[in-house]
Structure 1
Amino acid sequence: MSATRSPAQNPNRTLPRWLARFFFQCVEAAQRRIARGSLVGDKPIFDNAQFPWVEALEAQAPAIARELDAVLATPGRLPAFHEISPDVATITQDHQWQTFVFLGYGMRAERNLARCPATAAALDGIPGLRTAFFSILSPGKQIPLHRGPYNGVLRLHLALKVPREREHCWIEVDGQRYAWQANRAVVFDDAYPHQVHNDTDETRVVLFVDFERPCKAPVSWLNRLLLAFAPLTPELQQAKANHERWERDYYAAPTQAATTGTPETPEPPAPAVNPATPDAPADAPSAHTVADERAHS
């Protein structure tokens, strides 16, 4: 099959290092054109009304949050963000920022999606979707000032778990501070410098999404071309391999049903079984984009 597919369609191929460097040079050069060609403007935080599908996504937040509760039942089995996307280690190296990945630049976590059908259905309604995962921020966790490498995608946070003292749990994008509100979304450009604080004693969780920035043609064509090649970069290939390894171990581990002597429900997924997930970011065409909170990549 790979012989009949272009490099951008074949997720098992990786760009040579020299070509990956050239690719990122193209990404850097394209950003001014993308800012000028943006159909929603160029600013740190956007008005949700510019994205008609956001209201429908917010309406599904309670159903998504119920699936999140099942995922959080065994938090010790969820990976730290930098364990999936190593580039994120530049801004976090502890286990206080965890993820549960659904999609990431050419990678689909099918078993995670099957385990959370309401979330999967909600994601289907997002145009130009590139990355999606639960982003879990522990009490007291702070993510220092950083920026994503590419403005061809925009980021959305749908707040699912918000501390009671929400004014002490916020993201600041280019100096504009936003405190998450339960069941509400915020859209921002993570290519602007941003930082995150959870200065409370409660966990904060958002559905973290990167989607293609709406642009005029022919800038939109250029943007889609760059995004099509992003999954072939060594950074994102490594993140994909890391996640596949974690997912294999996660679903192979003994379940609660097995340890209690009750029959194990076949996976994927079993609600009664409690199997124990980016600023950049970090996601965009680098692992920083996949990694953020990227963190892009």
Structure 2
Amino acid sequence: MEQLNRRYSLHGDHPFIEPSDFAWTRQLALHTEAIQKELDALLPQVERLPNFQDISPDQAMLTTDAGWKTFFFRGYGVECEGNRRKCPNTAKALELVPGMSTAFFSILAPGKVLPPHRGPYNGVLRYHLGLRIPASDDTCAIRVDNEQRSWGEGESLVFDDTYQHEAWNRTPHWRIVLFVDFLRPLPLIPRLLNNAMMAIIRATPFVRVAARNQARWEASFYG
């Protein structure tokens, strides 16, 4: 299936894809300030936000400490209603993303490094909107395949996470992006097959366990 997705991808098969290829990225970036305000309201409680591996245990291969915090709005199609109510402007802005599968605030602590890895399935592409970026140089960056990029606040990146990639924040400040996975644009028949594969993935323990953990965390957080 991955070979089929690469062959028929409407935006080619590249580590990074130009954000301007997707009209919605410009529209979503216009909401940066409103999203930042909701994010900033959360940050006094950042230590209470869940570590990624606490929501998705499979992430323990990448992180086992408190250096990668999350605040989910959707995970493989499962809505996170409490968080959406907490950040209504962010939730509204995310409606601009066609085929959105997953969305959350991805929060890297000072000094946090994510080792080289690849995503599980290339039926989605990944989008980052820079929200709080302490540096736009080698100290805070992402490498996908052989290409390295940095984030900027209010700026977008789109990439294929099934290329080997790594990210790091070697600064004394938090690095925060809006992290979105969306369905890879494909012609009709490959798109239908991809939709079927995504439905299968949503039914796996990988997703069901994460959904339960997220619901349990929201119940505790909102009391």
TM-score tier by shorter-chain length is over 0.9
Conserved? CA contact 2:77–2:100, under 8 Å: no
Q: How far apart are residue 48 of structure 1 and its match?
A: 1.1
Match of 1:168 in 2: 139
Q: Give, in whole Å, the separation in 2 of the partners of 1:165 and 1:51.
A: 23
Match of 1:99 in 2: 70
Offset from partner CA, 1:174-208 (integer Å, 9 cap, x none): 01001111110100000000000111111100000
Instruction: Note if 1:189 corresponds to 2:165.
Output: no
Match of 1:84 in 2: 55
TM-score, L = length of structure 1: 0.74
- The amino acid across from 1:81 in the alignment is F
Match of 2:21 in 1: 50
Match of 2:199 in 1: 228
Matches within 5 A, 1:246-265: 246-252=217-223
Conserved? CA contact 2:118–2:164, under 8 Å: yes
Q: 2:111 aligns with which of 140, 149, 165?
A: 140
- The amino acid across from 1:92 in the alignment is T
Match of 2:169 in 1: 198
TM-score, L = length of structure 2: 0.98
Closer/same/farther in 2, CA of residues 54 and 67 from structure 1, 3 Å limit: same
- The amino acid across from 1:139 in the alignment is P
Q: Give, in whole Å, the separation in 1 of the partners of 2:158 and 2:193.
A: 22
Structure 1, unaligned runs of 5 or more = 1-29, 253-297
Q: 1:127 aligns with which of 98, 113, 135?
A: 98
Q: Give, in whole Å, the separation in 2 of the partners of 1:165 and 1:174.
A: 19
Q: Give, in whole Å, the separation in 2 of the partners of 1:182 and 1:130.
A: 23
Offset from partner CA, 1:140-186 (integer Å, 9 cap, x none): 00000000121110000100000046441000000100111111010
Structure 2, unaligned runs of 5 or more = none
Q: Give, in whole Å, the separation in 2 of the partners of 1:170 and 1:99.
A: 18
Conserved? CA contact 1:165–1:200, under 8 Å: no
Match of 1:159 in 2: 130
SS in 2 for 1:157: strand
Q: Give, in whole Å, the separation in 1 of the partners of 2:169 and 2:76.
A: 27
Conserved? CA contact 1:154–1:211, under 8 Å: yes
SS in 1 for 2:120: coil
SS in 2 for 1:218: helix
SS in 2 for 1:101: strand
Q: Give, in whole Å, the separation in 1 of the partners of 2:136 and 2:93.
A: 28
Q: Give, in whole Å, the separation in 2 of the partners of 1:117 and 1:216.
A: 33
Offset from partner CA, 1:266-293 (integer Å, 9 cap, x none): xxxxxxxxxxxxxxxxxxxxxxxxxxxx
Instruction: Note if 1:31 corresponds to 2:2.
Output: yes
Q: Give, in whole Å, the separation in 2 of the partners of 1:33 and 1:165.
A: 35
Q: 2:89 aligns with which of 104, 112, 118?
A: 118
- The amino acid across from 2:32 in the alignment is A
Judging by fraction of residues, say which structure has more strand: 2
- The amino acid across from 1:214 in the alignment is P
SS in 2 for 1:245: helix
SS in 2 for 1:228: helix
Q: 1:243 aligns with which of 209, 214, 221?
A: 214
RMSD value, Cα: 0.9
Q: Give, in whole Å, the separation in 1 of the partners of 2:77 and 2:148.
A: 32
Q: Give, in whole Å, the separation in 1 of the partners of 2:180 and 2:130.
A: 11
Match of 1:218 in 2: 189
Match of 2:39 in 1: 68
Conserved? CA contact 2:110–2:175, under 8 Å: yes
